[in-house]
Structure 1
Amino acid sequence: MDHLRYLLLLAGCLAVTLPLELSGSRVYRRPARLARAVLPVAAVFLAWDAVAIAAGVWWYDPRYLVGVTLPLSVPLEEALFFLVVPVCAVLTLETVRRMLPRVPARARTERRR
């Protein structure tokens, strides 16, 4: 079961933020916009990870991985991390943006002080 731990954690992140989509954030309903926000950042971090792995700067404990490695020597779970976490962040951001107008302007001003 240890080999599924990383994947289960990522699934948990998606499960926890899924209600944000159901509350009207519409992030999953605009896949092109989501891809433009997530994919460039994921590509940079995948390259960074690949360089660090090749240089021996860091590695991954195979006990927590399913054993699928991408061509850049990056474990599948790590590549998914660079997709899942930003998606969860975008869901959270869009929900806050959508909900913020509901907070009276005076309450927002008082919180800043």
Structure 2
Amino acid sequence: MARFAYLTVLAGCLGGALWLEPILRVNVLRRWRRLLLTLLPVVVIFALWDLAAIAAGHWTFDPEQTTGVLLPGDLPLDELLFFVVVPFCAILGFEAVRAVLRWPAGDESA
């Protein structure tokens, strides 16, 4: 089970945040283009940073804690998913606060 520890933590993050979408109607998934434009630079920059650290020997991953699926450059799939899941959960949380406090999102029709 330790092999799926990283994925289990990511699933826990998603489980803790995904309910905000339907319950508070934060509409993060409905505005999918905005979500993609937000996540893409984060994923690219941090994946490149990790790849550089791995190549330099400064960063490693415990193979017993990850699925063992490696992407080019020995980047674990689990780590790439981290760069998607954690910012996505943060966006859901931010939009939930915005919805509860009724802060304008800036994209409302006039």
Fold conserved between structures, TM > 0.5: yes
1:6: which partner in 2?
6
Specify the alignment match of 1:61 in structure 2.
62
For residue 39 of structure 1, report the CA deviation from its aligned partner: 1.0
Q: Distance in 2 between matches of 1:15 and 1:78?
A: 18
Matched residue, 2:77: 76
1:51 aligns with 2:28: no
Structure 1 vs Structure 2: percent identity of aligned residues? 49
Structure possessing the higher radius of gyration over alpha carbons:
1
Q: Map Cα deviations across residues 2-44 of structure 1 (whole Å, 9 max, x no partner).
A: 0011001101100110111112001112211100011111100
CA distance in 1, matches of 2:16, 2:55: 34
Per-residue deviation, 1:72: 2.7
**2:21 pairs with 1:21:** yes
Report the TM-score when normalising by structure 1: 0.86
| Residue in 1 that maps onto 2:108 | none
Where 1:43 maps in the other structure, the secondary structure is: helix
- Structure 1 residue 100: deviation in Å? 1.2
Q: Which amino acid aligns with 2:90?
A: A
- Between the aligned partners of 2:101 and 2:52, the Cα distance in structure 1 is 40
CA RMSD of aligned residues (A): 1.1
Match of residue 85 from structure 1: 86
Letter in 1 for 2:56: A
Q: In structure 2, how many angstroms separate the alpha carbons of the residues matched to 1:84 and 1:101?
A: 25
What is the SS of the residue equivalent to 1:25? coil
CA deviation after TM superposition for structure 1 residue 101, in Å:
2.8
What is the alpha-carbon distance in structure 2 between the residues aligned to residue 59 and residue 98 of structure 1? 39
Structure 1 runs of 4+ with >6 Å offset? none
> What's the TM-score once normalised by structure 2's chain length?
0.88
Q: Which residue of 2 aligns with 1:111?
A: none
Unaligned segments of structure 1, at least 5 residues: 103-113
